[in-house]
Amino acid sequence: MRGRALGYDAERMAFVFTMTYGARIVDFEISSTALDDLDGTKSTRPGEREAQFGRLREAVERVASNAFEQQGKPNGQRVRIFSKHVKSL
């Protein structure tokens, strides 16, 4: 289920957000490249990442759910989403 959008981490070049699994809060990050792949764009500016995430949130959450399931529902670890996860849709 939907959690919070925490924002863009320019150092990691990834957007950080949470989702819930039951009572558990799961941390996620999606790379800039994966966001651009979902959006069909390239080189989105850091200041535009939050709006981009907002537009793509439903698609990002589907990818995140799939990645979470594929990685065996990791506990206490951030689930990282890369282009390969987006391209496998």
Domain 2-87 coded CATH 3.30.160.140? yes
**Per-residue confidence (pLDDT) for residue 34, from 0 to 100:** 97
DSSP string computed for 45-86: -GGGHHHHHHHHHHHHHHHHHHHHHHTT--SSS-EEE-HHHH
- State percent of the chain over pLDDT 70: 98
pTM score of the predicted model: 0.90
**Per-residue confidence (pLDDT) for residue 89, from 0 to 100:** 62
Radius of gyration of the chain (CA): 12
Residues near 76 by Cβ (< 8 Å), separated by ≥ 6? none
**Domain ranges within the chain, ordered by starting residue:** 2-87
